[in-house]
Amino acid sequence: MYYSVSEPIKLRYYRYMNSKEQHEYKDNPLISVYVPTYNRCSILMERAIPSVLNQTYRNFEFIIVGDGCTDETKPSVLGLNDPRIRFVNIKRKKRKFPNTVKNHWLAGPITPANYALSMVKGDWIARIDDDEQWTNDHLEKLLEYAIRNNKEFVTANVESIVDGVPVINKGHKMFSDYFCTKDLKGTRTENPEIGGTSTVLYRSFLKSFKYNKNCWRKTINSANDIDLYVRFIKANVRIGHLDDVVTYQYPRPGEDTIGWDAYHRDSENKIQYFNE
């Protein structure tokens, strides 16, 4: 209830405060890219970091927030000596939710993700997960699409490998049974897809929409990213979808699939990993 009342008001305020900027977009705006991570140094260094640093769009800062990492993440990231990278390793706090694999999936990254949002300096925000990769023109394509179509939040397609089979995932329609939002459509004619987390690009004033630390308590839309996107929908954020692959989501070493299915199939090892 709090979000549904406060966030539409908040959006109107930030639109007003940024109205001139929205009509006169900056040339070459700064994009704040962020990744929350926990003890996945190897895959972070092999996937997410190179795909961000190799972007054709060059004006970005890269915020990497370790959730109390105890592996080689800190020295490995700092060893890159790249001025675009801002790294912080926050203290890992005891989670407020019951210690289950599902709850870690739903709400685990929230603390470092919200910390990263507090560090943002750019005009736009993009997120990548540590085990995913971007196409080299990811930022360039999404930014051009968002500006050309006057959107505040855009997503795109993901290429995934599921049990050895490549799949192109566009996401789900904004007004759909998946998001439980069909009754919100009203007279609106546009109904774009909303794609995966590592395809998002949005205006930086939306950083005030923090991830909901209590999302795991909900009976619907309880994943942290879905909770946020539904709040964007309800607040009437201008949403668009680029029908093009900009992100690769491949299984981690030793796994056959991705996302929740990977967590569920390997729940015993996953809970041990989160308890380290």
The predicted-structure confidence for 56-108, as pLDDT tens digits, reads as follows 999 999 999 999 999 999 999 999 999 999 999 999 988 889 999 999 999 99
CA distance 172 to 89: 34
Confidence (pLDDT) at 18: 81
pLDDT at residue 251 above 90?
A: yes
Taking every pair of C-alpha atoms in the chain, what is the biggest distance, in angstroms?
53
Confidence (pLDDT) at 27: 86
Mean pLDDT value of segment 184-201: 96
Mean pLDDT value of segment 121-150: 98
- The enclosing domain of 79 has a CATH number of 3.90.550.10
CB 68 within 8 A of CB 90: yes
Confidence (pLDDT) at 252: 93
How far is residue 67 from each of residues 48, 98, 127, measured CA to CA in Å?
A: 16, 18, 16
CA distance 26 to 269: 47
CA pseudo-torsion sign 77, 83, 85, 91: positive
Mean pLDDT value of segment 221-244: 97
pLDDT at residue 21 above 70?
A: no
Confidence (pLDDT) at 42: 98
- Total domains in the fold of the chain: 1
CA distance 184 to 254: 41
Mean pLDDT value of segment 29-56: 98
Confidence (pLDDT) at 229: 97
Determine the structural domain holding residue 83 and report its residue range.
2-275
CA atoms within 13 A of residue 66's CA, in its CB half-sphere: 21
pLDDT at residue 262 above 80?
A: yes
CA distance 250 to 256: 9
- Neighbour tally for 192: CB within 10 Å: 20
Mean pLDDT value of segment 17-37: 81
CA distance 174 to 171: 9
